[in-house]
Amino acid sequence: MSQTGTLVSEKIEEKEYDIIYVGGGPGGFAGALKSASLGQSVALIEADLMGGTCVNWGCIPNKSLLASTEAYLNAKDGADYGVEINGDVALNFIKSMNRKNEIVSKLRGGVTFMLQNAGVSIYKGKAKLVGERKVKIESGQDQGKVLIGKNVVIATGSSPSRPPIKGIEGKNVINSQILLAMEEPPKSLIIAGAGPEGLELGTFLSACGVKVTVVEMMPHILPLEDTDIANALQDALSDEFKNIEFHVGAKVLEIKDSDGLKEVVADVGNGKTESYKAEYVMMSIGRIPNTANLGLEELGVEFNRRFIKVDKHMKTNLPWLYAVGDVAGGGLAHVALVQGPIAALNAAGKEALYDDKALPRSVYTYEEVASVGLTEEQAKNKGISFKIARSFMAANGRALSLGKTHGFIKIIIDQNNKIIGATMLGPYASEVIQEIAAAITFGATADQLATVIHGHPTISEVIIDALNAGAK
């Protein structure tokens, strides 16, 4: 030691890899598996649970709970289908949560197994870029280790946002991650934000008997989706669940305590406010990318607003650094699942480009909503001349047999008769929309898609029915 008491030298363990992934969510683990398949030496650093938000607190747990919801609804309505059930039918919150936890655990373990089986070196801890091609693990199990990579991929995902609302830090104001860890259901819940997360969890909780109030600042639920589809979904949810209510055009101003409950005060326009009360408030107003304390600013990495700026190769302004998923503006798990391998290919000297013109989006509630390409509103805003082909679930034999006839499909067709978008509400919408995604990807016209033979009876026949009816 020197006279000042500082260390003259510090032994730091360093290890070199062809590529390092920071983050073990969809983008990180998909990219790491691709890099390993290309024969590269790969390291992956994860600060928390393998699989990221999607596996642990988002896509998978929500869909597991919605599977329980569907089973309950089928049993509850069994008499309509000739199924006689003696006794009451109820959705058990605790058992549904336990089932969800088992599924999440299995999938998380499966991701870890695949990475280990592929030869990926897994490190645990929070990482930071400390120099060109250098990543230091600053906390956690592998704290102090420094990894050197020919290339580095940032895939750290996102976290629930905490907008500057008065009272948001108070007791019983939670996010979805806290809700998914609850051991008993709330008696009542206000959900601030009517996006996919809020509606999916709201559906499950309503089925459990929880009084749910959904508050959305925009004019309709699912504000990024087609207005007609969003309004039809709201009607479907209101018809099925009498204990869920919606308030749109209501901007949350304040959250406060009131008679042992939480009170949400919202601006509803024209100088008026409304108040809603519940035991808990769940904030579901977007997410923020996990880019803080990564050392990006020190290295001069370019940002586009909150996101890391990347090109179609997923490369940043530094030749050795890539970013994928939420930190690069992705926002959806399947975007990260695609972008991770694209970064892997480019880092290995191959050519791969990301193209989002046929990016599907799905919402899984009592009825599914799915979209791809442009919505009607987006096509109008872009000044595109288009027509719309429609078909309704009420005329679809498969939908009738399932007893789910609220929905419809809208297919957007441009002046060259090419399909540029579609949105759908109905059974298996998340699966059916993939056909439209393929059509957009390969530049198919409406006439070409109309020649595809569809099995009968299937939900996908709504596509052919819409196209055969003609666009207007």
How many whole angstroms separate alpha carbon 79 and alpha carbon 150? 63
Q: How far apart are the first and last CA of the chain?
A: 81
Strands 42-46 and 14-22 turn out to be parallel
Specify the 3-state DSSP secondary structure of 45.
Answer: strand
Contact at 8 Å (CB) between 371 and 433? yes
Q: For residue 394, what is the DSSP state?
A: G
Strands 280-283 and 188-192 turn out to be parallel
Q: Which two tokens stand for residue 423?
A: 């949105």
Q: Which two tokens stand for residue 280?
A: 């808990």
How many whole angstroms separate alpha carbon 392 and alpha carbon 156? 41
Q: Which two tokens stand for residue 183?
A: 């051991």
Contact at 8 Å (CB) between 328 and 143? no
Helices (H), 118-246: 176-179, 196-207, 227-240
Active site residue 334: no
Spell 109-143 as b/e; 16+ CB within 10 A means b: eebbeebeeeebbbbbbbbbbeeebbbbbbebebe
Contact at 8 Å (CB) between 395 and 405? no
- The vertex-31 CA angle with 27 and 34, nearest 5°, equals 150
How many whole angstroms separate alpha carbon 323 and alpha carbon 353? 13
**Full DSSP string of 409-459:** EEEEEETTSBEEEEEEEETTHHHHHHHHHHHHHTT-BHHHHHTS---SS-T
Contact at 8 Å (CB) between 27 and 155? yes
Active site residues: 456
